[in-house]
Amino acid sequence: MRILLLTAGSRGDVEPFAALARRARREGHDVRLAATAGPADLAASGVDAVGLAGDFAAVAAAQGVSPWAALRSYRSVVAPMMAAMLRSAVDVAMAHRPDVIVAHPKVLSARLAAARLGVPYVAVELVPTLSPTREFAAAGVTTADLGAANRLTYRLGAAAEAAFRGPLRRLRADLGLPSRGRLPGPALTAVAVSRSLLPPPPDWPETTRAVGHWHDGTGDGEADPELDAFLARGDVLYAGLGSMTAPGAQERGRAVVGAARASRLRVLVVTGWGGLEVPAGTDSGDDVLVRRAVPHHLVLPRCAAAVHHGAPAPCTPCCAPGSRRLSCRSSPTSPSGPGSCTGAGSPRHRWPTGT
């Protein structure tokens, strides 16, 4: 089978698709992955990868990930980037001629390409944003339990699509599709989140399936000797906010290092897209190590505690069998909704009051 995988966004949006691509290739399928970041790195990890237009990391670095910042720069930055990404996804699909398209929700043009080619497409939720349920609100909207109104929060996905109606309408015309009207929906919606983090709600539609977290341990890289030695000494706090970024990165970094030291923990600060930054002088001493990215599946099980933004990439290793005394606090991006999830054992350290 010829399979086309389309994804856009951060490392956490790309790596699960890369893991799926490698698995499908091992099963004998012809698989191509199109992503907005790192085709060369993906190719090195055994994936037939091509690039999509758009640099989400650059946009986040310039304006942060706040919805209000996105609104302010919608016309000048967001809309042109998204239009280019949506068109490049269609171009890749028309060139590859797949039997099925599997796509991230950001790739709004996947449905158009599938309709033009007459093939099914599968929508992928890496966090729950598409399939309405009254059990919890859509990720990124609120961590509050709104009861029956939780279902309403999933309408924001349709609103996001409406924001790019112009580019999508032009793509429809170019593909010879009707300019208006509904196109076939996804044949399947795959929720690629561990059932330990997200037990399937009973009111999900039959076409929505919880398929587990897509990860195979390949493509993350290895722990370099300095990082390995730092972890080997034990009592390490992992702190990282992934693709989350906002003003105050140095203040957050200073607070994390201070809290870790007060708790007699050494700290691994993972800066990601810039949500954390350790000010000069704060990182002096052998109790602080700074990295832009680390292989979560190798690092987190060796840490005493973790502070992160609640995305699946760090959450899943925290909850994996054999993880040591890990905890993670949910955020609006967490796949588990309000609350928290805890790994094996209990934290050995109590955070000082006020940190």
For residue 68, is it within any domain?
Answer: yes
Same domain as 204, residue 258? no
Average pLDDT for residues 108-112, to the nearest whole number? 96
Same domain as 290, residue 146? no
Predicted pLDDT at 285: 75
CA-to-CA distance for 339 and 337, rounded, in angstroms? Answer: 7
Same domain as 202, residue 139? yes
- Segments forming the whole domain that contains residue 279: 225-342
Q: What digits encode the pLDDT tens for the residues 145-178? A: 999 999 999 988 777 788 899 999 999 999 999 9
Same domain as 139, residue 54? yes
Chain CA centroid to CA 63, Å: 19
Same domain as 18, residue 124? yes
Q: Give backbone dihedrals phi and psi of 336, rounded to 5 degrees, phi first.
A: -100, 5
Predicted pLDDT at 316: 66
CA-to-CA distance for 319 and 294, rounded, in angstroms? Answer: 18
- Which has more pLDDT, 320 or 108? 108
Amino acid at 198: L
pLDDT band at 335 (very low <50, low <70, confident <90, very high): very low
Same domain as 272, residue 129? no
Same domain as 314, residue 204? no
For residue 347, is it within any domain?
Answer: no
Average pLDDT for residues 81-102, to the nearest whole number? 96
CA-to-CA distance for 269 and 289, rounded, in angstroms? Answer: 6
- Outline where the chain has alpha helix (H): 11-26, 39-44, 56-63, 67-72, 79-96, 110-117, 156-163, 165-175, 225-232, 249-262, 296-299, 312-319
Q: What is the dihedral of CA 60, 62, 64, 67, to 10 degrees?
A: -90
**Residues sharing a CB contact under 8 Å with residue 13, sequence separation 6 or more, in sequence order:** 7, 35, 104, 106, 126
With tokens 């973790």, the residue in question is 306
For residue 81, is it within any domain?
Answer: yes
With tokens 């970094």, the residue in question is 253
CATH code assigned at 124? 3.40.50.2000
Q: What digits encode the pLDDT tens for the residues 261-278? A: 999 999 999 988 777 888
CA-to-CA distance for 283 and 281, rounded, in angstroms? Answer: 5
Q: Total domain count for the chain?
A: 2
